[in-house]
Chain A
Amino acid sequence: MPARPAVRGGLHLVTQVVNEICEIFLELGFTRAVGPEAETEWYNFGALNFPADHPAIDAQDSFYLGDGVLLRTHTSPVQIRVMERHTPPIRVVSPGQCYRRDPFDPSHSPVFEQVEGLVVDEGISFVDLKATLSTFARRFFGSETRTRFSPSFFPFTEPSADMQVTCSVCHGSGCPTCKHSGWLEILGAGMVHPAVFEHCRLDPERYTGFAFGMGPHRIAMARHGIPDIRLFFESDVRFLAQFAGPR
């Protein structure tokens, strides 16, 4: 006969993924840093080297609250806040909620979670970026995981990169999750742009660093085969229970 069950709860899958990401970085010597969700245009764009009236801002269509304040479109403003308050060495990850004025569809939500990271010290190079993020990928997706870096564009990093990992579903042979490419794009990264250091009154000749950012919703969807991002917001107990661990 069946056992007597107890009341059971569980963390939201996005929280679980955020925690997993942060824990790996905590093992790599990072700490967590956070900042406000209602940000000034300066922290969200200006200090991050987005030129005013530049098409780069279009990709991050914002909700405005007035008075030069908007809902942050990424957790990158935390980079600025950390560099203003603390002296290097800096090794932080910043999880948090972000907002972009994109209509809901199966893979986009106007509200989404992001985990950003920042490393600043003397002598940090592109090799450190690749090494740290590849280590993270192997810890998160499994030791067999391979990574691939390609050039990209973010105003606040130069050089900028996208990191792809071998698909966690098919391990590189091609499947619907990776659109038959064998690769999943999971994060953007780059060496901190000297203009960003200058905005934080750090000397770019002395300090170098790298930053990266990833979307836990996307990662959770890819890893768990979730077809629609809206499921994360519906809070259907039947959905939440699936990720609450063994009964």
Chain B
Amino acid sequence: MILSRRWLEAMLGRSLDPKDLEHRLSMLGTPVEAIIPHHQDLGDVLVARVLEVKRHPNADRLSLCLVDGGGAPVEVVCGAPNVTAGHTYPYAPVGAVLPGGLKLEKRKIRGVESNGMLCSAKELGLGADHAGIFELATDAAPGTRLLDALPLADDQIVIEVTANRPDLLCHKGVARELGASLSVPFRLVEIPGAAPVPAPERSASASGTVGGVQVRLEDTEGCPRYLAAVIRGVRVGPSPSWLALRLEAVGQRPINNVVDATNYILFEINQPLHAFDLAQLDGPAVVIRRAGVGERIVTLDGVERTLSPDMTAICDARRPTIVAGIMGSATSEVSANTRDLVLECAYFEPRRIRRTRRALGLSSESSYRFERGIDLHGMPEAMRRAIALIQAVAGGELTGPPLDLWPEPTQPRTIFLRPDRVSALLGTPVAREEIERHLSAIGFVTAPKDSRLAVQVPGWRPDVSREVDLVEEVARFMGYDTFPDELKPYRLGTVPDAPAERAKDRVRAALVGAGFYEARTFPLGPADGPDSVPVLNPMSAEEAHLRTRLLPGLIRRVEHNWAAHTRDVRLAEVGTVFRRGDPGTKGPVEWVSVAGVLTGGRRPAHWTEGAKVPDMDIWDLKYHFELAVGVSAPDATVSERGNAWEALAPDGSVVGWAGSLGADAPVWAAPLFGFEVRLEEAAPLPVSYRALPEHPAVERDLALILPAGVTASAVEQRLRRNALLEAVSVFDEYRGPAIPGDQRSVAWHLTFRDPTRTLRDGEVDEILARALKALEDELDVRRRAS
């Protein structure tokens, strides 16, 4: 929303400093996005009178003007056809700087020296017209600064209006807030040449006649209140400069006096109006009804639109002429030929407008305001002011008082406010008088009622519906900064710290400690599995599904790093994944997944090793997978499956996977591996201390021949049956000529210890013999002949 500082100043009857304005509005809850100086770059331009116009001696299209710019008359070459002796024009003398930075110098044009320039509106940034120079309607003496002669210099105050405050979408609403803040009254600016307008006549029924036009309000749900007036004999033409300048100052292009007048009322008091050509109405009638199925209208933007019965249309006797509250048709619009017009001042139901606007994909200044709610009770005054303005700028005769159809009138809302509730909620005592003062300054009407205040809410504040809304109004005008901010004692809450967050902390710490950088990948992407959840309204086809796994996203991130010539990459992510819910359940199933990808050198290179380190392989992967499983799903066990590993929960379900990954890899890249595990929330049990050994251990090496299909872990499982085996580790694997077929030799280092006494070698020999017997019987594993 763009405000004109000058317009606000006119309403408040005092000057405003843009910086102060910005601060005040922000502290009242309306942030200022920008303050844009408007036409302040015209400071060098003067008012000048042309004393004499002669033909340029060397050019037919140019004239030579004698110009009184305040000092001694000077000669100026001018190319405009409309320059006339005795008239007044904007004049940029030598040395002046024009908008856009052009600095005027004395120079010869076709052999004649020109002392500056007479300017067109376009050259001054005042409009598109550059065919002729800009004739000024001013009594100011030649030499007066243009900015002193015309109300041009302004500041555009761009404010951000929250969705709850439609009243701030106009100058009146903002002036009301500023007036309360500055303790000055505000009033609407007098319209030059305005005549009194009779008050609208309320009709208790839903139809009536005004100026010979039948008005029928059929859709009272979509349009609770409808005012109409007929003005005959208007002269459509350009607006007077004061009106054009006001609109131009808020970024609106002047169109014609009638349309400009309705726009002025919109930006002044936030009442959208619609003026349409009576001659184009069949009937003549104005019918406010639901649109018929498939009814069509060509809107002002030239697009044919199909309406439906959940939209309100303003129709003549035959067809829709306006999509209510949004846009009119090209045919019914006021044109240069319009003589008689119907002026509409309506309240359209906000939700209806919003749904229609979305369905048609069509919005306008009007729909924006109707959607937020306009002042239902201020409409008669808005109508009178609009008529007065149209008559002042376009003439015309009002054919009788405006018609006001409001079949089910409502009273302004009254809310009861407890002053002690204000103090309690704001945490500081607030006197009843102070409450009343703040509320009445912005148009609320207060009256004592028992120990409370009965507060009548003005129509322009549809957001205020409960006591607490009034508390906010009081707090706003007291100023949020006036409240203390000293920390008081508090009671601890009853909610335990979320186990899910604690689990995420644990797994992140473990993976970061193992050398992973944490990644956060984008959770939307292409479908990555049969169960992936589609988004109904994605922003692109590539981001139309929620991820079921983290690994695909991480692989893309590795490729991104490869593209930046990074070879060593270890990324881990802890993130939410989703899959389609089971039939009969609402929404997807989601859980937290933990994944890692690794590629490149096992550790950073160092000069002592000739800067060569081996690349990570599947055994690095297995280590990190077991680490991730240990911290994410402590009850799960890792087992081999084909060329990969799985983590199996105690119930046998697969909760994790690790293996080699395919990717779009450059030739210099190392192999890529990855793992993914489902995160369990349960906290691990505290670790119980085991006494440190006091007796020596007995150590043995053991080389075994394993037939195909027998895993090292199966062997270890059997060795561990003896409680005295303290530690077991593989130190070699061999396949080759010395071992027949698809068998292999695996060598273990075993540590035996009895915590209560010193073990003897003979005991260990016996234990080993028993273990070898079991291995041979159960797994066909034998000791390798040395």
Contacts and interface: CB of A to CB of B under 8 A. Distances in A.
B425 A89 contact: no
A110 interface: yes
A163 to B, nearest CB: 9
B673 to A, nearest CB: 15
A65 B590 CA distance: 13
A1 B611 CA distance: 13
B570 interface: yes
Interface in B567-590: 568-572, 575-576, 578, 586-588, 590
B539 A69 contact: no
**A: contact size bracket:** 35 or more
A191 B163 contact: no
A4 B588 contact: no
B485 A232 contact: no
Nearest to A95: B501
**B: contact size bracket:** 35 or more
A34 B533 contact: no
Given A11-B512, A240-B518, A153 B566 contact: no
A36 B508 CA distance: 20
A244 interface: yes
Nearest to A85: B495
Contact of A9 (B350, B355, B472, B517): B517
Given A67-B586, A194-B466, A235 B498 contact: no
Interface in A26-58: 26, 29-34, 36-38, 40, 52-56, 58
Contacts of A11: 508, 512, 518
Contact of B586 (A69, A111, A152, A155): A69
Contacts of A234: 557, 560
Nearest to A163: B480
A197 to B, nearest CB: 11
Interface string A115-155: 00001010101111011101100000000000111111101
Contacts of B521: 233, 235
B268 to A, nearest CB: 22
Interface stretch (B25-33, B42-50, B56-64): B25-33
A153 B29 contact: yes
A4 to B, nearest CB: 5
Interface string A1-26: 11011111111101100010010001
Nearest to B513: A9
B564 interface: yes
B163 A130 contact: no
A106 B15 CA distance: 39
A66 B480 CA distance: 41
B164 interface: yes
A54 B515 CA distance: 49
Given A89-B494, A240-B517, A130 B485 contact: yes
B571 A235 contact: yes
A131 B522 contact: no
A103 interface: yes
Interface string B552-566: 001001001100101
B708 interface: no
B569 A8 contact: no
Contacts of A88: 493-494
B734 to A, nearest CB: 30
A69 B519 contact: no
B535 A64 contact: yes
A236 interface: yes
A68 interface: yes
Given A232-B520, A235-B561, A89 B491 contact: yes
Given A14-B520, A128-B488, A237-B571, 19 more contacts: A9-B513, A15-B520, A37-B578, A37-B590, A38-B590, A55-B354, A64-B537, A66-B536, A91-B495, A121-B491, A126-B483, A127-B488, A159-B468, A159-B475, A191-B425, A191-B468, A234-B557, A236-B560, A244-B517
Interface of B: 26-29, 31, 162-165, 350-351, 354-355, 371-372, 424-428, 466, 468-469, 471-472, 475-476, 480-481, 483-488, 490-498, 500-501, 505, 508, 511-524, 533-539, 543, 546, 554, 557, 560-561, 564, 566, 568-572, 575-576, 578, 586-588, 590, 603-604, 606-608
8 contacts: A31-B498, A53-B351, A63-B538, A65-B546, A130-B483, A149-B481, A240-B518, A241-B517
Interface of A: 1-2, 4-12, 14-15, 19, 22, 26, 29-34, 36-38, 40, 52-56, 58-59, 63-69, 71, 82, 86-92, 95, 97, 101, 103, 110-111, 119, 121, 123, 125-128, 130-132, 134-135, 147-153, 155, 158-162, 191, 193-195, 208, 232-238, 240-241, 244
The 3 closest A-B pairs by CB, nearest first: A125-B427, A151-B29, A127-B427
